[in-house]
Structure 1
Amino acid sequence: MPNPSPALDAVTAVGYIGKPVHVELEWNDDPEPFCRSGYVIGIVLPVKGVQEQAYLMVMSPGEDFPVEAYLEDIRSIRIADQIEGFSHA
Protein backbone atom coordinates (compact mmCIF):
# COMPACT_ATOMS: atom_id res chain seq x y z
CA MET A 1 0.00 0.00 0.00
CA PRO A 2 1.54 3.38 -0.96
CA ASN A 3 2.29 5.90 1.73
CA PRO A 4 -0.19 8.82 1.33
CA SER A 5 2.06 11.36 3.08
CA PRO A 6 5.53 12.51 2.07
CA ALA A 7 8.32 10.40 3.56
CA LEU A 8 9.46 11.54 6.97
CA ASP A 9 13.22 11.88 7.00
CA ALA A 10 15.56 12.20 9.99
CA VAL A 11 16.08 15.93 9.53
CA THR A 12 12.34 16.63 9.57
CA ALA A 13 11.78 14.15 12.42
CA VAL A 14 14.15 16.09 14.71
CA GLY A 15 11.60 18.93 14.69
CA TYR A 16 9.14 16.70 16.56
CA ILE A 17 11.41 16.14 19.58
CA GLY A 18 9.67 17.34 22.75
CA LYS A 19 6.32 17.75 21.01
CA PRO A 20 3.07 15.90 21.67
CA VAL A 21 2.23 13.91 18.54
CA HIS A 22 -0.33 11.56 17.06
CA VAL A 23 1.40 8.96 14.86
CA GLU A 24 -0.29 6.59 12.45
CA LEU A 25 1.88 3.55 11.69
CA GLU A 26 1.40 1.13 8.83
CA TRP A 27 3.13 -2.18 8.08
CA ASN A 28 3.12 -4.13 4.80
CA ASP A 29 1.81 -7.34 6.41
CA ASP A 30 -0.94 -5.66 8.46
CA PRO A 31 -3.88 -4.13 6.57
CA GLU A 32 -5.00 -1.92 9.47
CA PRO A 33 -2.96 1.13 10.54
CA PHE A 34 -2.00 1.46 14.21
CA CYS A 35 -2.19 4.81 16.01
CA ARG A 36 -0.08 6.00 18.92
CA SER A 37 -0.12 9.30 20.83
CA GLY A 38 2.61 10.60 23.10
CA TYR A 39 5.64 12.82 23.30
CA VAL A 40 8.62 12.36 21.03
CA ILE A 41 11.47 12.06 23.52
CA GLY A 42 14.23 11.29 21.03
CA ILE A 43 15.32 10.04 17.65
CA VAL A 44 17.72 7.24 16.83
CA LEU A 45 19.68 7.86 13.67
CA PRO A 46 20.90 5.14 11.34
CA VAL A 47 24.52 4.06 11.75
CA LYS A 48 25.89 1.56 9.26
CA GLY A 49 26.47 -1.79 10.92
CA VAL A 50 24.78 -0.72 14.15
CA GLN A 51 21.27 0.59 13.44
CA GLU A 52 20.09 0.52 9.83
CA GLN A 53 16.82 2.48 10.22
CA ALA A 54 15.98 5.76 11.93
CA TYR A 55 13.15 5.82 14.45
CA LEU A 56 11.38 8.13 16.87
CA MET A 57 11.08 7.22 20.54
CA VAL A 58 7.50 8.04 21.54
CA MET A 59 6.53 8.02 25.23
CA SER A 60 2.81 7.38 25.66
CA PRO A 61 0.64 7.91 28.76
CA GLY A 62 0.72 4.98 31.18
CA GLU A 63 3.73 3.33 29.54
CA ASP A 64 7.00 2.63 31.35
CA PHE A 65 9.15 2.71 28.22
CA PRO A 66 9.02 4.56 24.90
CA VAL A 67 7.78 2.92 21.70
CA GLU A 68 10.00 2.79 18.63
CA ALA A 69 8.23 4.35 15.64
CA TYR A 70 10.40 3.60 12.60
CA LEU A 71 10.29 6.46 10.11
CA GLU A 72 9.58 4.11 7.20
CA ASP A 73 6.47 2.81 9.02
CA ILE A 74 4.98 6.25 9.75
CA ARG A 75 1.98 6.83 7.51
CA SER A 76 1.20 10.20 9.08
CA ILE A 77 2.34 12.31 12.01
CA ARG A 78 0.85 15.48 13.42
CA ILE A 79 1.27 17.67 16.47
CA ALA A 80 -1.42 16.76 19.00
CA ASP A 81 -3.45 19.48 20.65
CA GLN A 82 -3.92 17.42 23.78
CA ILE A 83 -2.85 14.00 25.01
CA GLU A 84 -4.85 12.49 27.85
CA GLY A 85 -2.64 11.53 30.78
CA PHE A 86 0.07 14.14 30.10
CA SER A 87 0.44 17.67 31.37
CA HIS A 88 1.38 20.34 28.84
CA ALA A 89 2.90 22.57 31.51
Structure 2
Amino acid sequence: MTVPKILLDPILPTEAERKAIELLDKMLSLKTENGDGEALKLQIVGIGGESIALPESLYQLLHQAAHLMAADRAVSLVPIEQNLTVE
Protein backbone atom coordinates (compact mmCIF):
# COMPACT_ATOMS: atom_id res chain seq x y z
CA MET A 1 0.00 0.00 0.00
CA THR A 2 1.40 3.39 -0.99
CA VAL A 3 0.98 6.13 1.60
CA PRO A 4 0.13 9.57 0.20
CA LYS A 5 2.88 12.08 1.06
CA ILE A 6 0.32 14.46 2.55
CA LEU A 7 -0.25 12.06 5.46
CA LEU A 8 3.42 12.08 6.36
CA ASP A 9 3.95 15.85 6.31
CA PRO A 10 4.09 17.32 9.84
CA ILE A 11 1.24 19.66 10.73
CA LEU A 12 1.90 22.59 13.06
CA PRO A 13 -0.96 24.84 14.20
CA THR A 14 -0.93 28.51 13.30
CA GLU A 15 -1.11 31.16 16.01
CA ALA A 16 -4.74 31.75 15.05
CA GLU A 17 -5.55 28.05 15.56
CA ARG A 18 -3.67 27.55 18.82
CA LYS A 19 -6.33 28.94 21.21
CA ALA A 20 -9.05 26.78 19.62
CA ILE A 21 -6.78 23.72 19.82
CA GLU A 22 -5.99 24.44 23.49
CA LEU A 23 -9.73 24.61 24.23
CA LEU A 24 -10.34 21.41 22.25
CA ASP A 25 -7.58 19.65 24.22
CA LYS A 26 -9.24 20.69 27.50
CA MET A 27 -12.65 19.51 26.29
CA LEU A 28 -11.29 16.17 25.12
CA SER A 29 -9.48 15.74 28.46
CA LEU A 30 -12.81 15.86 30.33
CA LYS A 31 -13.73 12.38 29.12
CA THR A 32 -10.33 11.00 30.02
CA GLU A 33 -10.29 12.57 33.48
CA ASN A 34 -13.87 11.57 34.32
CA GLY A 35 -13.24 8.06 33.03
CA ASP A 36 -16.92 7.34 32.57
CA GLY A 37 -16.94 7.33 28.77
CA GLU A 38 -20.19 9.28 28.73
CA ALA A 39 -18.83 12.72 29.60
CA LEU A 40 -18.20 13.68 26.01
CA LYS A 41 -19.66 12.35 22.80
CA LEU A 42 -18.26 13.55 19.51
CA GLN A 43 -20.20 13.49 16.28
CA ILE A 44 -19.40 14.47 12.74
CA VAL A 45 -22.32 16.24 11.08
CA GLY A 46 -22.53 16.24 7.29
CA ILE A 47 -23.84 18.98 5.03
CA GLY A 48 -27.24 17.31 4.84
CA GLY A 49 -27.51 17.05 8.62
CA GLU A 50 -26.69 13.33 8.83
CA SER A 51 -24.39 12.52 11.73
CA ILE A 52 -22.15 9.72 12.87
CA ALA A 53 -20.55 9.19 16.27
CA LEU A 54 -16.78 9.39 16.31
CA PRO A 55 -15.39 5.91 17.08
CA GLU A 56 -13.27 5.59 20.24
CA SER A 57 -10.07 4.93 18.26
CA LEU A 58 -10.48 8.20 16.33
CA TYR A 59 -11.37 10.02 19.55
CA GLN A 60 -8.05 8.87 21.04
CA LEU A 61 -6.13 9.93 17.94
CA LEU A 62 -7.79 13.36 17.93
CA HIS A 63 -7.12 13.82 21.64
CA GLN A 64 -3.44 12.94 21.28
CA ALA A 65 -3.04 15.25 18.29
CA ALA A 66 -4.82 18.13 20.05
CA HIS A 67 -2.69 17.67 23.17
CA LEU A 68 0.55 17.78 21.20
CA MET A 69 -0.54 20.69 19.01
CA ALA A 70 -1.69 22.68 22.07
CA ALA A 71 1.89 22.32 23.32
CA ASP A 72 3.11 23.81 20.01
CA ARG A 73 4.39 20.50 18.69
CA ALA A 74 4.01 19.36 15.10
CA VAL A 75 2.03 16.19 14.45
CA SER A 76 2.31 13.67 11.64
CA LEU A 77 0.07 10.70 10.94
CA VAL A 78 2.12 7.61 10.13
CA PRO A 79 0.23 4.45 9.21
CA ILE A 80 1.65 1.17 10.47
CA GLU A 81 1.06 -2.14 8.73
CA GLN A 82 -0.56 -4.68 11.00
CA ASN A 83 0.24 -8.33 10.42
CA LEU A 84 -2.19 -10.89 11.75
CA THR A 85 -0.89 -14.23 12.95
CA VAL A 86 -2.67 -17.45 13.79
CA GLU A 87 -1.38 -19.51 16.69
Which of 1 and 2 has greater Rg? 2
Would you say same fold, with TM above 0.5? no
TM-score by length of 2: 0.29
Higher relative contact order (CA 8 A, sep 6+): 2
Q: Which has the higher strand share?
A: 1
Q: Which has the higher helix share?
A: 2
TM-score by length of 1: 0.29
